[in-house]
Protein backbone atom coordinates (compact mmCIF):
# COMPACT_ATOMS: atom_id res chain seq x y z
CA UNK A 1 0.00 0.00 0.00
CA UNK A 2 1.37 3.39 -0.97
CA UNK A 3 1.21 6.19 1.58
CA UNK A 4 2.14 9.71 0.58
CA UNK A 5 5.39 10.81 2.30
CA UNK A 6 3.79 13.94 3.77
CA UNK A 7 0.86 11.93 5.11
CA UNK A 8 3.30 9.44 6.63
CA UNK A 9 5.14 12.23 8.46
CA UNK A 10 1.91 13.55 9.91
CA UNK A 11 0.99 10.04 11.03
CA UNK A 12 4.31 9.83 12.89
CA UNK A 13 3.62 13.22 14.50
CA UNK A 14 0.17 12.07 15.65
CA UNK A 15 1.49 8.76 16.99
CA UNK A 16 4.33 10.62 18.73
CA UNK A 17 1.83 12.92 20.43
CA UNK A 18 -0.26 9.97 21.64
CA UNK A 19 2.87 8.28 23.00
CA UNK A 20 3.87 11.52 24.76
CA UNK A 21 0.45 12.01 26.43
CA UNK A 22 0.09 8.39 27.52
CA UNK A 23 3.69 8.48 28.75
CA UNK A 24 2.93 11.64 30.74
CA UNK A 25 -0.04 9.88 32.39
CA UNK A 26 2.03 6.86 33.33
CA UNK A 27 4.90 9.03 34.58
CA UNK A 28 2.61 11.22 36.73
CA UNK A 29 0.65 8.33 38.24
CA UNK A 30 3.91 6.51 39.03
CA UNK A 31 5.92 9.46 40.36
CA UNK A 32 3.03 10.92 42.40
CA UNK A 33 1.82 7.58 43.66
CA UNK A 34 -1.71 7.92 42.25
CA UNK A 35 -3.95 4.83 42.51
CA UNK A 36 -7.58 4.02 41.83
CA UNK A 37 -9.72 4.71 44.93
CA UNK A 38 -9.55 2.03 47.56
CA UNK A 39 -11.35 1.49 50.90
CA UNK A 40 -14.42 3.11 49.33
CA UNK A 41 -17.72 2.86 51.11
CA UNK A 42 -20.15 0.63 49.28
CA UNK A 43 -23.95 0.42 49.45
CA UNK A 44 -26.59 -1.52 47.52
CA UNK A 45 -28.31 1.08 45.34
CA UNK A 46 -31.22 -1.21 44.44
CA UNK A 47 -32.32 -1.50 48.07
CA UNK A 48 -31.27 2.00 49.11
CA UNK A 49 -34.75 2.81 50.48
CA UNK A 50 -34.50 -0.24 52.75
CA UNK A 51 -31.02 0.66 54.03
CA UNK A 52 -30.42 1.95 57.54
CA UNK A 53 -28.73 5.19 56.56
CA UNK A 54 -30.67 6.27 53.47
CA UNK A 55 -34.15 5.19 54.58
CA UNK A 56 -36.85 7.68 53.56
CA UNK A 57 -37.26 9.04 57.09
CA UNK A 58 -33.52 9.50 57.68
CA UNK A 59 -32.74 11.95 54.88
CA UNK A 60 -31.95 15.65 54.96
CA UNK A 61 -30.15 17.81 57.49
CA UNK A 62 -29.50 15.68 60.58
CA UNK A 63 -30.78 17.22 63.84
CA UNK A 64 -27.67 16.09 65.75
CA UNK A 65 -24.29 17.43 64.56
CA UNK A 66 -21.28 15.11 64.54
CA UNK A 67 -18.98 14.99 67.58
CA UNK A 68 -16.61 17.52 65.99
CA UNK A 69 -19.45 20.00 65.39
CA UNK A 70 -19.81 19.35 61.68
CA UNK A 71 -23.36 19.27 60.36
CA UNK A 72 -24.40 16.16 58.46
CA UNK A 73 -26.69 16.16 55.41
CA UNK A 74 -27.89 12.97 53.75
CA UNK A 75 -29.21 13.19 50.21
CA UNK A 76 -30.43 10.62 47.72
CA UNK A 77 -30.02 11.31 44.02
CA UNK A 78 -32.68 9.59 41.96
CA UNK A 79 -34.09 10.27 38.52
CA UNK A 80 -34.95 13.19 38.56
CA UNK A 81 -34.15 15.09 41.72
CA UNK A 82 -32.18 15.20 44.94
CA UNK A 83 -34.23 14.11 47.93
CA UNK A 84 -35.25 15.96 50.06
CA UNK A 85 -35.95 18.54 47.34
CA UNK A 86 -35.30 21.50 49.66
CA UNK A 87 -32.77 21.80 52.45
CA UNK A 88 -31.64 24.65 54.65
CA UNK A 89 -28.15 24.93 56.16
CA UNK A 90 -26.24 27.65 58.06
CA UNK A 91 -23.50 29.72 56.43
CA UNK A 92 -19.89 29.45 57.61
CA UNK A 93 -20.22 26.01 59.15
CA UNK A 94 -18.57 22.79 58.06
CA UNK A 95 -21.14 20.54 56.41
CA UNK A 96 -20.64 16.90 55.52
CA UNK A 97 -22.77 15.73 52.63
CA UNK A 98 -23.35 12.01 52.34
CA UNK A 99 -24.90 11.07 49.03
CA UNK A 100 -26.07 7.89 47.33
CA UNK A 101 -27.93 7.14 44.13
CA UNK A 102 -31.01 4.97 43.75
CA UNK A 103 -30.54 4.28 40.06
CA UNK A 104 -27.86 5.47 37.63
CA UNK A 105 -24.72 7.61 37.74
CA UNK A 106 -25.46 11.16 38.87
CA UNK A 107 -23.34 14.18 39.72
CA UNK A 108 -24.06 16.88 42.26
CA UNK A 109 -23.00 20.47 41.84
CA UNK A 110 -23.88 23.65 43.69
CA UNK A 111 -22.89 26.58 41.41
CA UNK A 112 -20.62 29.29 42.85
CA UNK A 113 -19.41 26.94 45.58
CA UNK A 114 -16.91 24.09 45.67
CA UNK A 115 -19.62 21.51 46.41
CA UNK A 116 -19.33 19.04 43.54
CA UNK A 117 -18.90 15.31 43.26
CA UNK A 118 -19.95 12.26 41.29
CA UNK A 119 -22.49 9.86 42.78
CA UNK A 120 -21.74 6.37 41.55
CA UNK A 121 -24.24 3.50 41.89
CA UNK A 122 -23.12 1.15 44.64
CA UNK A 123 -21.03 3.73 46.51
CA UNK A 124 -21.54 6.44 49.11
CA UNK A 125 -20.09 9.81 48.13
CA UNK A 126 -18.94 12.08 50.95
CA UNK A 127 -17.98 15.76 50.61
CA UNK A 128 -17.17 18.28 53.32
CA UNK A 129 -17.67 21.93 52.49
CA UNK A 130 -18.47 25.36 53.91
CA UNK A 131 -20.92 27.78 52.29
CA UNK A 132 -19.62 31.25 53.11
CA UNK A 133 -22.49 33.30 51.64
CA UNK A 134 -26.17 33.07 52.57
CA UNK A 135 -28.55 32.76 49.64
CA UNK A 136 -30.57 30.36 47.56
CA UNK A 137 -28.60 27.92 45.46
CA UNK A 138 -29.69 25.26 42.99
CA UNK A 139 -28.37 21.73 43.52
CA UNK A 140 -27.76 20.43 40.02
CA UNK A 141 -27.00 17.09 38.45
CA UNK A 142 -23.95 17.39 36.21
CA UNK A 143 -23.70 13.86 34.86
CA UNK A 144 -26.12 13.01 32.07
CA UNK A 145 -28.55 10.60 33.70
CA UNK A 146 -31.48 10.34 31.30
CA UNK A 147 -34.15 12.33 29.48
CA UNK A 148 -35.05 14.34 32.58
CA UNK A 149 -31.44 15.27 33.37
CA UNK A 150 -32.04 18.95 32.67
CA UNK A 151 -34.92 18.88 35.16
CA UNK A 152 -32.83 17.30 37.90
CA UNK A 153 -32.27 19.99 40.43
CA UNK A 154 -33.23 20.74 44.00
CA UNK A 155 -32.97 23.80 46.22
CA UNK A 156 -30.37 24.61 48.87
CA UNK A 157 -30.95 27.61 51.12
CA UNK A 158 -27.95 28.93 53.04
CA UNK A 159 -29.03 31.17 55.93
CA UNK A 160 -27.11 33.32 58.41
CA UNK A 161 -25.88 31.14 61.31
CA UNK A 162 -27.91 33.00 63.95
CA UNK A 163 -31.20 32.58 62.11
CA UNK A 164 -30.68 28.88 61.34
CA UNK A 165 -32.54 26.36 63.48
CA UNK A 166 -31.65 22.68 63.52
CA UNK A 167 -34.51 20.57 62.14
CA UNK A 168 -36.41 18.51 64.67
CA UNK A 169 -36.85 15.54 62.36
CA UNK A 170 -35.46 14.03 59.22
CA UNK A 171 -37.21 12.71 56.14
CA UNK A 172 -37.99 13.34 52.51
CA UNK A 173 -40.70 15.82 53.41
CA UNK A 174 -38.32 17.94 55.46
Partner 1 sequence: MRASNLMILTLMAAATAYGAPSTQVAWTPQTLQFVKSGKAEHGKELAQTCNGCHAAADNPAPSLEGQLATYLYRQLQDFKAGSRKDPVMSALSSSLSDQDMADLAAWYAGQEAFAGTGGVSDPTGIAGRGDPTRMEPPCAVCHSGSGAGEKVDTPRLSGQKTGYLEKTLTDYKAGTRTNDVYHRMRLIAGKLNDKEIKQLADYYSKLR
Q: Which residues bind partner 1 (CB under 8 A)?
A: 44, 46-47, 49-50, 55-57, 59, 76, 78-81, 83, 85, 102, 146-148, 151-155, 171-173
Nearest-angstrom CA–CA distance, 156 and 79: 18
Least separation in angstroms between residue 141's CB and partner 1 is: 11
In this structure, the chain runs to a length of 174
* Nearer to partner 1 among residue 150 and residue 160 (C-beta): 150
Taking the CA atoms of the chain, what radius of gyration do you get in angstroms?
A: 22
Nearest-angstrom CA–CA distance, 108 and 140: 6
Least separation in angstroms between residue 118's CB and partner 1 is: 20
Strands (DSSP E) found in 64-113: 71-78, 81-83, 86-90, 94-101, 106-109
CA 86 vs CA 50, 69, 111, 156: distances in Å: 22, 22, 16, 6
Least separation in angstroms between residue 57's CB and partner 1 is: 5
Least separation in angstroms between residue 135's CB and partner 1 is: 17
* Nearer to partner 1 among residue 93 and residue 155 (C-beta): 155
Least separation in angstroms between residue 90's CB and partner 1 is: 23
* Nearer to partner 1 among residue 80 and residue 113 (C-beta): 80
Starting at the edge strand that comes first in sequence, how are the strands of the sheet with 106-109 ordered? 86-90, 153-159, 135-140, 106-109, 116-119
* Nearer to partner 1 among residue 23 and residue 135 (C-beta): 135
* Nearer to partner 1 among residue 130 and residue 174 (C-beta): 174
Amino acid sequence: MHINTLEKRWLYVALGMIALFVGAMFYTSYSRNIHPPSHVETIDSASLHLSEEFAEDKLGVQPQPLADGRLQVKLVAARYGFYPRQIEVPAGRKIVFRLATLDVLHGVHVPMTNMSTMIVPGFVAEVTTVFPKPGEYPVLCNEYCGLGHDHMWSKLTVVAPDTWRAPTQTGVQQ
